[in-house]
Chains A and B, each alone.
Chain A
């Protein structure tokens, strides 16, 4: 098995509060994994640990065989849950920044994705709607040739048209030799693109498995299961 991400016995506390407890998770190349849970369940903490932005209290994280650090950052393409671009930037500036920061940035790909998203190079971030910012950031993130793509709430708060474009872009950019980790609480809109789902509640994995297997075993869609667990 070709695990690109391996998490074992992960614990994270903030002061007294336990944000994550005993997380075990393996992700193979070529898989799209949905991390599902309500707000405050620990999704973003988990992502920040993978990104090396936070450090675990106990447990181990391996990405492409290494602990989070310089190497793992170079192989992860990350879409944060908040817009990381400066408001004075134009689309062109944002592309330039990505080009300077990331060796694996593919400008041709970015060109195609921006066209697909109907974003013009001269547009300014300050004039963009939430959906447009999300599309721009996703286009940039998917234009890297990374081993792991981490998308934190990619469709939260965007209109249905932008949502469809974002989903299409994610499906079109699926790669067999890399993994995608996507957090969301909008399960109904996204469940069809997941190979594997992880239900995260109160910092613990409540249930995880292959999405199709869960549908078969429980005789319902993942959205129904989500409502049953968190409803």
Chain B
């Protein structure tokens, strides 16, 4: 996998895992792949994965049980917040794209409505 943005790889992996959680690929309370398996899958140094897991734990998105592994949080509020944050980021980047196309913010809801009505 190529990590093309200028961000450190561990942060890009944090985003990948958050997306997997938000889209249900990784479910509430589910065990994450071991550091080694994840390193092999993403073809990165295991130390990098360790750092990503550490960051996710710091943000309370995952928790570690000694000798058992790392698990997705059980707390619904955190998962909702994660989803909400990701949705907001998508919307912001969408709006920035639209503005670049020359639409102003007030016009955007109407265009969205139109697209929905067209059944797209």
Contacts and interface: CB of A to CB of B under 8 A. Distances in A.
Interface of A: 30-32, 164, 167-168, 171-172, 174, 188, 192-195, 211-213, 215-216, 218-221, 224
B54 interface: no
Interface residues of B, number: 20
Contacts of B7: 215-216
A31 B47 CA distance: 8
Contacts of B48: 192, 212
B44 interface: yes
A32 B3 CA distance: 18
Contacts, number: 54
A212 B44 contact: no
A interface: dominant SS: helix
A171 B51 contact: no
A216 B45 contact: no
A98 to B, nearest CB: 25
A32 B45 contact: yes
A212 B10 contact: yes
Contacts of A171: 39-40, 43-46
B38 to A, nearest CB: 10
16 contacts: A30-B47, A31-B47, A164-B43, A168-B43, A171-B40, A171-B43, A172-B40, A193-B43, A193-B45, A195-B45, A212-B51, A213-B8, A215-B6, A215-B7, A219-B6, A221-B6
Contacts of B1: 192
Please list the 4 inter-chain residue pairs (A to B) with the smallest Cβ-Cβ separation, ordered nearest first. Answer: A219-B6, A212-B8, A192-B44, A215-B8
A80 B106 CA distance: 64
B110 to A, nearest CB: 37
A63 to B, nearest CB: 21
B9 A194 contact: no
Contact of A174 (B4, B9, B10, B39): B39
Nearest to A223: B2
A24 to B, nearest CB: 23
